[in-house]
Structure 1
Amino acid sequence: MAAATPYKMRIDGMDCASCALKIENAVRRLPGVSDIDVSYTAGTLVLRLDEDRTSARTIAEKVKALGYRPLDTPAASSLQGSAKRERAPWWQDDKGRLVLGTGALFMAAFVLAAFVPAWERWLYTAAALICVVPFARRALAGALAGTPFSIETLMSIAALGAVAIGEAEEAAVVIVLFAVGELLETVAAGRARAGIEALVDLIPRMARRRRKDGGEAEQVPVDALAVGDVVIVRPGDRVPSDGEVIDGSSEVDEAPVTGESVPVLKEIGARVYAGSINANGELEVRIDRVAADNTIARIIHLVEEAQESKAPTERMIDRFSRWYTPGAMVVALMVVAVPPLAFGGDWSTWIYRGLATLLIACPCALVISTPAAIASGLAAGARQGLLIKGGAALETLGKVRTVAFDKTGTLTLGKPQVTDVIAFGNDEASVLARAAAVERNTSHPLGQAITAAAQARGLVIPATFGGSVATPGKAVTGRLKTGFVSVGSPRHAAEQTAINPQVRDAIAGLETAGKTVVVVLSGKTVEGLIALRDEPRPDAAEGVRRLAERGIRSVMLTGDNARTAAAIASRLGLEARAELLPDAKLAEIARLQGDGPVAMVGDGINDAPALAAASVGIAMGGGTDVALETADAALMGNRVTGIADLIALSRATLGNIGQNVAIALGLKAVFLVTTLAGATTLWMAILADTGATVLVTANALRLLSRRAMK
């Protein structure tokens, strides 16, 4: 037996949650199929398949039998990259042709009835019976595939029932209006998908690649670029793929990736991202990511994955809708039977009202209320450089009561500079050089700053034997020719040896000035102190202020010393918890969660445990792998103010969901009352459902025009 393989299929015509449920139920019955995930917002079917038991062609045929069109055959390769689906005019779409066909039949019956009034009933009956066939066929296919209570079932029963009681004209109108409603759903769903697919247009189709032989640059398709190729990006051109500037200087508009509207100066050594626009100077860029793996492609892929995942509210409504439709059919049956049997009512009248109740009960507007808003919110966030990985994270952000920040690289620039070197015994150059030897291969910002300072002074850095060993939150230790040397926090130094008053006073003075101090130990002897300072990000204070305006508490969690933490916290206007080892950060987050959901903001590497422990983790990253792959959300623009934008977007989405549910249920309640009172016709009943669906979808699409606060 072959192992199950991941497959993904794009599906056209799947434009509501009920459509997705029908496909899921049908595919679930096939042998060898598992891990099914159907997303109407992304228009995709993702699953794992054992092809020895069920072929990919069988899945495509099953989907087609339900009335949907597979756009491609499932293939493992389809999980990589993103493609923009071509959209035909609405009248060339299957649902558009159905609207035109049903409308034409109804008009033909109307015109002929005007000339031959005696045939009126039979003309409308024929039109209704012909028009209902496509929907009845889909209802039957759905029932056989495990979804007996579908939208098509409700509509088909109502239309056939209307014909049976002599209301053929209304039956025909109901079918036409239902077809129009389905078409409007398709158009609306297409707009929501276009919000993400439009990002594909940001990548140019061609690039100017420098020839290996040094000749004039050649025009090549972007897909042909390989890692290591050098491309020429002229003023006004879009960067074809991620890479590093190796020559030239220019301002680059990175708004498509980071949401940052101010162009960024790019010089030799700077990173540039696919889709960003070169403003005024020519750049030579060495490509380090192929087209299918560049930042824009990965953003699209991650947002599509996020849209495929279901938010808690959406899952709740899905569970509710599974019982809602059969329940509605029972209520409609009671409307038909109870008044005539119990109170002597007219059967024809109450059958008519029962059919109207059946149409009003269509759950389209309700089941689309949440996923439409979630999809629009995710797309709006991606346009602003706010990458949110799923509806659950988007919902949680709006309920956050506390935001916990890491310090280095999050509230600060993450580029500390050595400000002071104090030697005790040896000279300052020796202290700095020996510290750089231990820190040379570290990824920690403080260690990199020490190494950079030694190199900038032209110092000879001693060799280490066996590399360096890091103790997280404490120190880095390496073996030099003269013995073991460690570079660590004053707290770690105090655990290793007695600190004399002179050293303690020097440490206190530097920390009071808001500097971070590391102690250089040779064995048990303090050789010297190195002080560094990392300045806050320019927008850090503004970001904390915006959170406070929304009633959200901000807390800084750092392993740095209390004096340095207090100095930075006072400048930014937030609380500080200092000298926290990684496990202490987790404990602090757990304590904060006692007051409500907590968002943790970090750089995505050192703070990974804390990001995972928080209610929602947010990574600062500016387009790096860490920002895209770690935590529940990422700020592509590296802006602290983006936290407030994330929360504002989440709250707007939650508000939109509430409005949608109120619209869907409110309209149904009003029309149910008017139906029971005899004031609602069949065509008004189906128009009420179609109208509610259109209103809910249009309301959700408003989120696409939302912009970050400035």
Structure 2
Amino acid sequence: MTSVTRPEAGVDPGALTYRVDGMDCASCVLKVERMVGALPGTAAVTASFTRQTLTLHLDERRTPRTLLETNLRALGYAPSLLSPAAQPATQPAQAGPDLTGHSRRRAPASLAWSRTTQGRLVITSGVLLAAAWLLGFAEPRFATAGYVAAALLGVWPLARKALASARLGDPFSINMLVSLAAIGAVAIGEAPEGAVVVFFFAVGELLEGVAAGRARAGIQALTALTPNTALLVGAAGLQEVPAAELQVGQTVQVNPGGRVPADGTIVSGTSSLDDSPVTGESVPVTKSPGDHVYAGSINASGVLRVQVNAAAADNTIARIIQLVEEAEGNKAPTARFIDRFSRSYTPGVVLVAALVALLPPLLGGAWHDWLYKGISLLLIGCPCALVLSVPASITSALSAGTRRGLLVKGGGALETIGRVRTVAFDKTGTLTAGQPQVTDIIGLNLPTQDVLRLAAAVETGSSHPLARAITARAAQAGLTLPHVMDAQAIPGRAVTATAEGRALSVASPRHAASLAPLSAALQARLTRLEEQGRTAVLLLDGAQPLGILALRDEPRADARSAIAELRALGVRTVMLTGDNARTGQAIARDLGLEVQADLLPGDKLRVIDGYKTQGGVAMVGDGINDAPALAHSDVGIAMGGGTDVALETADAALLHERVTGVADLVRLSRATMRNIRINLAFALGLKAIFLVTTLLGHTNLWMAVLADTGATALVTANALRLLRWAPHRSAPVPASPAPHPA
């Protein structure tokens, strides 16, 4: 057995990760997690459908690893331990950290269906079934033997897995129902129908595996986007190194046509980059020094030099895949209900089938007829299609959304987004571009140049967009900033520091008024600026105003269209901002939405509580001060250019920076829920039809199996339609003209 070598930094040394071949559906994941979780000494058990992996903590003094692997094989799965030692040292180009921090191998190429174990079983049992049918024209006795052989061959692996499931605590598995039905059919002299039953069931499982491969392919393809090698810039020139070995702070060169090997910041060069593999944004973006680039993006034209900001295990693609995998564990409420229902449903099916098979004959009915009906009910009652109906749709939707820059962190969030009645937006960096410009500098008791110089000094070190705008304006003017001490931020109110012997602050007018009353003339000047959609701040010496700085942050190009699309979907929109009411109203009037202004972070939570009582609310933001509101809302949505805090707190993220992505999330959620309702109708409708026809004597066994296999095929095909989902774009709504500068 392969031993686990020392894991890389940041990896839990107590965790084991297995690749589990054959774990091709949601019920498989549930089965594996239940079995492993019931073993003594196991903890933190997580099975991933997307990567076909099982991660757990294992106390081998209580449960040896060999027992765990034996149990997995008994259930029909093939476990292989993933570890750094599994990757030969002679193949560095193939190495790279996976999301657990272990050495990653490229995902093995998918086998053709005919070469898989399930494919070979389908072919063999199909050949035997066809041979038996042909023999029936020559000698019926040989045909009967052929049907019995086909039935027993097909049922053997099912019966073996059914017995293993029963031994491990799950006596009412789907495999048990089909095995009982097939063996019962042979026992009552209906071997041909028993053979057809197991053949159809095997075909259904094969189709399920093929569909699972298609659903996970979109996510797994992301792992191949990052190049294997990178051109490292060093003292001796360019050196080709494995991309997985790049360290934060190193500089790499990206030539035209090449892929960016790591998340980083451009230090030299200008080029158009195709970010579509990461963000879903189809239009190339021109980037220059200071701009951020993603691992996997394609450099279209110029030569770029990029400083690495994140190790391979922490780049954007790795985080996307990790969040998608974690999303599998965050089940939709509908999926959790179906899971609970199926635990009682399957034993109920067995009980009803037994009563139908035994009670009427004991009361004088024909044994053969009622045993036949009981066996049919076992097949009709198989919950495979029912269990698959929700997670198959959710998995397809998550994959389709991720490929288009819409990252949703679970089925619960995906289901909720489509039901919210209100979407609340932060202003700066969300509805606006987050790049405000200083438009006015007004000196009150100080020359304008000194107002800018001292304000920029106070704002040095702050990452707030307004602070960056002020310091950038000072840099453009070539001003020398004084040294500051004791700098600190008062969220939503002011930034303070000591400079040139003064206790300075850059404060909101409301905070300044709380320190000392503002004159009527000063209030009038502030009002005029704010009515023009500008954000005004005051430079204070203690409580004494020294000057005014006005800034304006223009709305994003698609913000007005996004608000119109949400209104068309029946969703109320409101802007929550810490800006003053006049500035907020000017922006909101331009975009066509409601506004609540002068809000501190705590105020936003109270406002969101109010909207929650009116049918649910989603909050869209990008900054650190948005994180509490994102977490407090029914669904938090982070903009792709936002802070790590916002991205980690949110339930969904727009990897591109388009506000219209919010409407796309609502559409994706509603499309998914429609798909799920259709799936449930397929699964339950077919069962209801075949239940009635079976009790009336109109359904034979091979038709009864279609109630499950046929429903499974329909449910799977319908769920796969979501892989082709694409956002619907309405005509852009023209923006209102911006106010004329003062």
| TM-score in terms of structure 2 length | 0.91
Partner of 2:739: none
Amino acid at match of 1:445: P
Report 1:54-453 matches (<5 A): 54-73=63-82, 79-80=100-101, 84-214=107-237, 217-342=238-363, 344-453=364-473
Question: What is the deviation of 1:77?
Answer: 7.5
Q: Is the partner of 1:679 in helix, strand or coil? A: coil
In structure 2, C-alpha distance between the alignment counterparts of 1:627 and 1:469, rounded to whole Å: 22
Q: CA deviation at 1:228?
A: 3.5
Does the aligned pair in 1 maintain the 2:132–2:144 contact within 8 Å? no
Q: Distance between the aligned counterparts of 1:4 and 1:106, measured in 2?
A: 51
Rounded Cα–Cα distance in structure 1 between residues aligned with 2:460 and 2:646: 25
Shift of 1:623: 7.6
Q: Provide the C-alpha distance between the structure 1 equivalents of 2:423 and 2:100, rounded to a whole number of angstroms.
A: 35
Distance 1:499 1:131, change over 3 A: closer
Post-superposition Cα deviations, 1:112-133, rounded to whole Å, max 9, x if no partner, equal 5554433443443344234322
Of 580, 599, 623, the residue aligned with 1:580 is 599
Q: Structure 1 stretch 239-248 or stretch 199-208: which is displaced more?
A: 199-208
Supply the distance in 1 between the matched residues of 2:598 and 2:79 (Cα, whole angstroms).
57
The offset of 1:106, in angstroms, is 3.0
Equivalent residues of 2:397, 2:672 under 8 A apart: yes
1:39-58 matches, cutoff 5 A:
39-40=48-49, 42-58=51-67
Change (3 A) 1:543 1:204: same
Post-superposition Cα deviations, 1:356-405, rounded to whole Å, max 9, x if no partner, equal 11101111111000001001111111111111111111111010110001
Call closer, same or farther: CA 1:123–1:514 in 2, change over 3 Å. closer
Name which of 551, 557, 563 aligns with 1:538: 557
Q: How many Å apart are 1:591 and its aligned residue?
A: 0.6
Secondary structure of 2:613 counterpart: helix
Match of residue 661, structure 1, among 674, 680, 684: 680
Aligned residue among 478, 487, 493 for 1:458: 478
Q: How do 1:490-639 residues align onto structure 2 when only pairs under 5 Å count?
A: 490-622=509-641, 625-626=644-645, 628-639=647-658
Larger CA deviation: 22-31 vs 263-272: 22-31
What is the DSSP-based 3-state SS (H/G/I as helix, E as strand, rest coil) of the residue aligned with 1:607?
A: helix
Residues in 2 aligned to 1:103 and 1:257: alpha-carbon distance in whole angstroms: 44
Unaligned stretches of 5+ in structure 2? 1-11, 85-96, 730-742
CA change 1:42–1:366 in 2 (3 A) is: farther
Change beyond 3 A, Cα 1:123–1:639: closer
The one-letter amino acid paired with 2:689 is: V
| Deviation string, structure 1 residues 426-473 (Cα, Å, up to 9, x no partner) | 2111122121221111121112212222222122212122x3121111
Kept after mapping to 2: 8 A contact 1:623/1:637 = no
Q: Quick check: 193-202 or 374-383, which moved more?
A: 193-202
Indicate the residue corresponding to 2:700 in structure 1. 681
How far 1:171 moved relative to its partner?
1.1
Aligned pair 1:489/2:508, yes or no?
yes
Would you say the 8 A contact 2:623–2:643 is kept in 1? no
Change (3 A) 1:41 1:32: same
Q: Could you report, residue by residue, the CA deviation over 1:91-119 in whole angstroms, capped at 9, with x for unpaired residues? A: 22111122123223334444555544334
Greater mean deviation of Cα atoms: 217-226 or 653-662: 217-226
Distance in 2 separating the partners of 1:604 and 1:428: 30
Question: Is 1:540–1:572's contact at 8 Å kept on the other side of the alignment?
Answer: yes
The 1-side partners of 2:408 and 2:166 are apart by 37
1:13 is the counterpart of 2:58:
no
Query: CA contact under 8 A between 1:7 and 1:78: conserved in structure 2?
Result: no
Cα distance in 1 for partners of 2:171, 2:262 equals 49
Report % sequence identity: 56
C-alpha contact 1:589 1:610 (8 A) present in aligned 2:
yes
Deviations 1:172-218 (A, max 9, x none): 1211211111111111111101121122232233333345312xx44
> For residues 657 and 80 of structure 1, do their structure 2 counterparts lie closer, same or farther at Cα, with a shift above 3 Å needed?
farther
Within the candidate set 472, 484, 508, 2:491 is matched to: 472
Match of 2:3 in 1: none
Tell me by how many angstroms 1:505 deviates: 1.5
Unaligned 5+ segments in structure 1 are none
Matches of 1:693 and 1:238, distance apart in 2 = 40
Q: CA deviation at 1:42?
A: 4.7
Distance change in 2, residues 1:425/1:28 (3 Å): closer
Residue type at the aligned position of 2:167: L
SS in 2 for 1:470: strand
Name the stretch that deviates more: 200-209 or 159-168: 200-209
| Counterparts in 2 of 1:46 and 1:316: CA distance versus 1, 3 Å | farther
Contact 2:252 2:305 in 1 (8 A): yes
Cα pair 2:46 2:55 within 8 Å, conserved: yes
User: Which residue does the alignment assign to 1:31?
Assistant: 40
Superposition deviation, residue 628 in structure 1:
4.1
Segment drifting more, 476-485 vs 125-134: 125-134
Spell out, residue by residue over 1:267-289, the C-alpha distance to the aligned partner (whole angstroms, 9 max, x if none). Answer: 12222111211222222223322
